[in-house]
Amino acid sequence: MSDALDSARRRSVGFLLRFVALLLVFYLIIASHPVNDAVIVPFTAAIASVSGRILNSLGEKTEVMGTEIRSSSFGVNIENGCNGVETALLFGAAVLAFPASGKRRLLGLAAGFVAIQILNLLRVITLFWIGLHRPALFNSSHTVIWQSIVVLFGVLLFLLWASRQRPLSAEPSPTSRGRSRKT
Amino acid sequence: MLNGRAVLRALVAFLLALAFWFGFSRPYERGIAAGAQALTNLFESPDVTRLQPSNGEILLDRRDFPPGSARPGLPGPDLHFNFVLLVTLFALDRKPLRGGHVGRFLLAAAALFLVHVLALVFQVHSVYATSLGAWSEATYGPVARNFWAAGFHFYQIAGRFAAPFALWWLFGRREEEEPSGGPRRTGKKKGRG
């Protein structure tokens, strides 16, 4: 039993080390100026553009300039940390650090990225609405509530994905002994 | 591990943690500021850095700043709101209030406090290295500037979200529960509805 737990512990720590290493690599990639200018900023501008269109279809009169969404009385600039990329990085690093087949990882990454971005769009739209109609609530909604929700969503998505992975090798893992699977 | 009940527990914990965080973030900031000031002073001669929490900001002061000059304010909530994430993740456990789990949560929370202190130290040096004009350039070389600025930027972009997850993974996740973080043999295959 102790060996089993030791083995599980080793794998767990191994996952964590891979996760942190991948996160650092991803950070270095997205923080570099060429990637930031060629990928992150246009991607963020696309988020602003889609959010602006949705807000306009909901009756708000907004205009989008680059990564900014403005109305006559309120404006937001979507920056790094608010474009869902940070949660996608977290999710991506966790999925790639977890042992699974390449195909399942790819599917997980694609589905997770889309889901995170959909939630992030909802975040941008509601934050703009809050800023416009309930400005006193904007700061706490922006910094704490929505950021936490999006990151938690990413973590829960990863846990859901990881719980559905099948083994890569036929070698039995001690952690699975006596464990009942819930769906 | 991840079922409807776990998500419900997480939701309740999220709301409770949020209320707790709103109520106690000011005294908590005093603790972080004191820790970061002590750590910064340790490597200063003379020890000139002073960190003073004030209305959600941590004012960065130096004894050698000109008396009338403005003091940079560092936003406190950005540093430590991830406490809410830590509580929520620990609440995913089937029995989140059992003694051992609470003990591990307290360990993780203590580790997160150290992360917050370190992040604030990085933020202070990041301001020193990049925002004080000629003084910054004279005092910090290119390597040091990049080290402190990139270190804090990493915390802002990835570290503050990754820290609660990593601490929960290390302290709060039970080994017998999935995901194991390693190859495993699943039992009888079941279809999903």
Domain extents in chain B: 4-172
Across the interface, whether the CB atoms of A86 and B158 are under 8 A apart is answered: yes
The whole-number mean pLDDT for each consecutive block of 10 residues of chain B, a chain of 193 residues, reads 85 94 93 97 93 91 85 91 95 90 96 98 96 91 95 94 95 66 45 37
Across the interface, whether the CB atoms of A81 and B175 are under 8 A apart is answered: no
Q: Provide the pLDDT for residue B1.
A: 62
Beta bridge partners of B61: B50
Q: Which pLDDT tens digit goes with each residue over A9-22? A: 888 899 999 999 99
DSSP secondary structure letter of residue A138 = H
Q: Could you tell me how many residues make up chain B? A: 193
More confident residue, B9 or A82: B9
Query: Looking at CA atoms only, how far is residue A126 from chain B in angstroms?
Result: 19
Q: How confident is the model at residue A73 (pLDDT cuts 50, 70, 90)?
A: confident
Strand order through the sheet with B49-54:
B49-54, B57-62, B73-75
Q: How confident is the model at residue A171 (pLDDT cuts 50, 70, 90)?
A: very low
Across the interface, whether the CB atoms of B2 and A160 are under 8 A apart is answered: yes
Q: How confident is the model at residue A110 (pLDDT cuts 50, 70, 90)?
A: very high
Q: Provide the pLDDT for residue A3.
A: 77
Position A69 in a domain: yes
The interface pTM score, or ipTM, of the predicted complex is 0.83
pLDDT over 60 (residue A167): no
Mean pLDDT of chain A: 87
* Phi and psi at residue B59, to the nearest 5°: -75, 130
* Phi and psi at residue B183, to the nearest 5°: -60, 140
Position A183 in a domain: no
Residue recorded with tokens 């490597």? B43
Q: Which percentage of chain A shows pLDDT scores above 70?
A: 90
Position A179 in a domain: no
**Pair B149, A141: CB distance under 8 Å:** no
Q: Domain range holding A154?
A: 2-166
B56: left (phi over 0), alpha (psi -120 to 50) or beta: left
Q: What residues of A are in contact with residue B84 (Cβ under 8 Å)? A: 144, 148
Q: Provide the pLDDT for residue B140.
A: 94
Beta bridge partners of B49: B62
Whole-angstrom distance, CA of residue B81 vs CA of residue A139: 12
Across the interface, whether the CB atoms of A15 and B182 are under 8 A apart is answered: yes
Average pLDDT for A47-63: 94
Q: What residues of A are in contact with residue B10 (Cβ under 8 Å)? A: 152, 156
Q: Provide the pLDDT for residue B60.
A: 94
Average pLDDT for A151-177: 72
Identify the residue among B9, B80, B165 best suited for mutation to test binding to A, counting A beta carbons within 10 A and taking the highest: B165
Count of structural domains, chain A: 1
Q: Which pLDDT tens digit goes with each residue over A117-146? A: 999 999 999 999 999 999 999 988 888 899
Report the range of poorest mean pLDDT among A80-84, A103-107, A110-114.
A80-84
